[in-house]
Amino acid sequence: MVIKNNTIKKLIKHYKEISLLGKINGLLNWDLNVNLPEKAGKFRAEQISYLTKTISDKWLDKEFRKNLEQADKEKNLSLEEKAVVRNLKHSYKYYFRVPQKVIVDFSRVTAEAFIAWRQAKEDNKFILFEPHLKKIVSFNQKIAGYIGYKDNPYDALLDLYEPGLTFGEGKSIFSILTREIVPLVKKIKKSRFSKVDQSLFEKDYPVEFQKKIAEFVLQKIGYDFDAGRQDVSAHPFTTELGEGDVRLTNRYSSNSFIESLMVAMHEGGHGLYEQGVNLEYSMTPLEGGVSLGIHESQSRFWENQIGRSWEFIRYIEPVLSVFYPKQLAKEDANSLYRLFNMVSPSLIRVEADEVTYNLHIAIRFEIEEALLNDRISVASLPQVWGEKMKKYLGVVPNKDSEGVLQDVHWSHGLMGYFPTYTLGNLYAAQFANKIGKDLDMKKLILEGNFGEILAWYRQKIHKYGSLYWPDELVKKVTGEKLNPKFFLNYLVDKYSAIYGFSC
């Protein structure tokens, strides 16, 4: 990366400290999730909040602001220089427009809310979380106000997680998705293939073999273990802790061999993206994946487009059979393929199959927008949740712990984050469609030859880090803007074949 402009040079120099401190905070968080002794929680929270404040101070540095304002007026900037300014302005908006006191108060509110949420979920009592969620909605309304928006307060929040995303765009995407997917699910439920032998989930799949398989597939798809690690945590995640250090986590349950394999592919997808960014972008505003949506496209591509494809199941079948010879004695690639692609409307988002998954997101999208605009009350959420589940999925939770309390996101204060999961699914299908034209993907997967597919992503997406904004990137890569039809076509083709019906 060649930076000629002196103001931009100063911005990058200052940003380096922000990046460095951010990644130290990343290690504190990784360690909190992977290693932290029980009694160390209080002190770790204090360290994290101290660093968060320090980072916020760095964003608010007056000289930095002056330089950023100056940079915004500069002409004849290079592509990279322009992207540096654009990215800084995007992050800066939050730190600059929202008063630091609000940010700090909000962090305290969410720290308490998280504890209350955990208890509420455990006790299955929404009322314990309700007052906290009220505060969180109100803080989000305030923050949206500080940031500013044209049409809808939700716009201000969506843009924080996926630059440029608006409520209008989201609404149009989700209305297309729900219109197509709801009848598709009904067809699948009616199919004679929709019953699955549940006894497979009552067998024992030793965790040590699950770990071996997870490591195997990560290595196979190209994840570099010299620049990362795979550990265990309650909720799997991927984190970039600095150059040469992209860590994944997984979780293992002895009753299922599917989950840890799919988690490895999913987190591996995130990890490959981070490991593939141009090293020259390290510690600059161009570092890391460009948005949550594009990031999720990488994880979902490797998890679903590859990991749940017939070719991959065909390839991995002997590996599964050698570790679980008795457990899978009656299975072959075809039955395993069906098993990995069971579709069934269920209550829990993180357990949902690829067909019903986005319906879960649609519900959250609608609720968040209605909350922010005061069209529904926090108190009415359990009821609203039930109604929407009934409408889209045809199932209704008996208890809030399997309904409105299931996800951690709101307790962390995140509103506007969920839709990026759906964007990820859509981007993944759109990219896969393009790869299908450029490469003989089926043959490559069948042979366990993932190098060309990874090279494609490295060349078209990974190396750019945060150089191109998501909408530019998808256009550059696929020739058109985000279009849900690729995902819908993929679903219909795949699942009509599995479940034996025509559309």
Interface with its own copies (CB under 8 A), residue from 1, 28, 207, 339: 28
Burial letters 385-423, b for 16+ CB under 10 A, else e: bbebbeebbeeebeebbbbbbbbeebbbbbbbbbbbbbb
Nearest approach, Cβ of residue 97 and its own copies (Å):
28
Q: Is 244 in the site for its own copies (CB under 8 A)?
A: yes
Q: Is 42 in the site for its own copies (CB under 8 A)?
A: yes
Burial class of residue 268, CB neighbours in 10 A (0-12, 13-18, 19+) = buried
Residue with tokens 């990279």: 80
Contact 403, 385 (CB under 8 A): yes
Q: Is 23 in the site for its own copies (CB under 8 A)?
A: yes
**Residue from 107, 98, 89, 238 nearest 164 by CA:** 89
Question: What x-and-dash track marks residues 260-299 binding its own copies by CB under 8 A?
Answer: ----------------------x-----------------
Output 105 or 245, the one with its CB closest to its own copies.
Answer: 245
Interface with its own copies (CB under 8 A), residue from 1, 10, 33, 44: 44
Output 40 or 348, the one with its CB closest to its own copies.
Answer: 40
CA–CA gap between residue 51 and residue 216 (Å, rounded):
37
Non-local (6+) Cβ contacts of 302 within 8 A are: 221, 265, 266, 268, 269, 272
Residue with tokens 């293992």: 252
Using only C-alpha atoms, the chain has a radius of gyration, in whole angstroms, of 23
- Indicate if 267 belongs to the active site: yes
Q: DSSP assignment of 153-195, as one string?
A: HHHHHHHHHSTT--HHHHHHHHHHHHHHHHHHHHHHHHSTT--
Which is catalytic among the residues 267, 303, 354, 368?
A: 267
Q: Is 493 in the site for its own copies (CB under 8 A)?
A: no
Interface with its own copies (CB under 8 A), residue from 20, 109, 176, 454: 20
Q: Is 227 in the site for its own copies (CB under 8 A)?
A: yes
Q: Is 215 in the site for its own copies (CB under 8 A)?
A: no
Stretch that binds its own copies, among 47-55, 75-83, 292-300, 343-351 (CB under 8 A): 47-55
Output 42 or 326, the one with its CB closest to its own copies.
Answer: 42
Q: Is 69 in the site for its own copies (CB under 8 A)?
A: no
**Residue from 361, 341, 359 nearest 495 by CA:** 341
Contact 155, 148 (CB under 8 A): no
Say how many residues touch its own copies, by CB under 8 A. 34
Interface with its own copies (CB under 8 A), residue from 4, 6, 13, 41: 41
Non-local (6+) Cβ contacts of 63 within 8 A are: 10, 14
Stretch that binds its own copies, among 41-49, 96-104, 160-168, 401-409 (CB under 8 A): 41-49
Catalytic residue set: 267
Q: Given the rule CB under 8 A, which residues bind its own copies?
A: 17, 20, 23-24, 27-28, 31, 35-44, 46-47, 50-51, 224-229, 241-245, 247, 282
